[in-house]
Amino acid sequence: MNTVPRINRESAQRARAIDPAEWETRIDLAACYRLVDLYGMTDLHLNHISARVPGHEQHFLINPFGMMYEEITASSLVKIDLAGNIIANANAEYGINLAGYVIHSAIHRARSDVACVLHNSYQCGHGGLGAQMRTAAADPERIALVAHCVS
C-alpha cells in the first residue's frame, strides 16, 4: 500500500506573493492528490483534480502534466485561467495537460458554484455492457465528480 507523508499546515512555507486563501486551497488540493494516490485511484498522471482559486473565480489550480500524484505539493500546482493561460507555474519544465484543461475549464466555466473538480478514469469489469459509463454529480460540499469507467 502506498504511504503518503502527512502535510503539516503549520510548518508549510507559503510561497511569497500567494494569497493566504489560495495557499490554503493549494494545501487542500495537494492533500487530495495524495489521498487519491494513497487509495489507488490514479491512472498514473492522466487524471486531474482542480480547485477554483478563492477570490479569482476565473482561475483554477491543476496538476503539472507528467508529475505523479505522490509528487504533487502545494507549490507545484499550476494556476491557469479559464482561457488556458498559465498564470503561475513554479516548475517551468512542466506544463498542463490539454485534455485536463478542456474538461476542468468547461466545468469551472459552467458551474460557478463548484469549487473543486475531480476527474478519474478507471478500469472496471462490466464485460459486454459497453465501452464507457459516464457519471457526473455535485455533492453538497461543492465538489463535482466526473468518472469514466472503461472496460
Instruction: Return mean pLDDT, the chain.
Output: 77
Question: Rounded to an integer, what distance in angstroms lies between the CA atom of residue 119 and that of residue 136?
Answer: 9
Give the whole-number percent of the chain exceeding pLDDT 70: 66
pTM, rounded to two decimals: 0.76
> How far is Cα 133 from Cα 124, in angstroms, rounded to an integer?
10
Which DSSP state fits 98?
H
Q: How confident is the model at residue 26 (pLDDT cuts 50, 70, 90)?
A: very high
Strands 116-123, 143-150: pairing kind: parallel
How much is the pLDDT for 132?
35
How much is the pLDDT for 17?
Answer: 78
Whole-number Å distance between alpha carbons of 129 and 141: 32
Buried b (16+ CB within 10 A) or exposed e, 114-143: bbbbbbbeeeeeeeeeeeeeeeeeeeeeeb
Round to whole Å and give the CA distance between 27 and 8. Answer: 9
Mean of pLDDT values over 88-111? 91
Whether residue 79 contacts residue 60, with contact meaning beta carbons closer than 8 Å, is answered with: yes
- Distance, CA of 52 to CA of 74 (rounded, Å): 14
Question: Is-contact 120 139, C-beta < 8 A?
Answer: no
| Burial classification of residue 69, based on how many CB atoms lie within 10 Å of its CB (0-12 exposed, 13-18 middle, 19 or more buried) | buried
Average pLDDT of span 41-66? 88
Q: Which residue has the higher pLDDT, 46 or 85?
A: 85
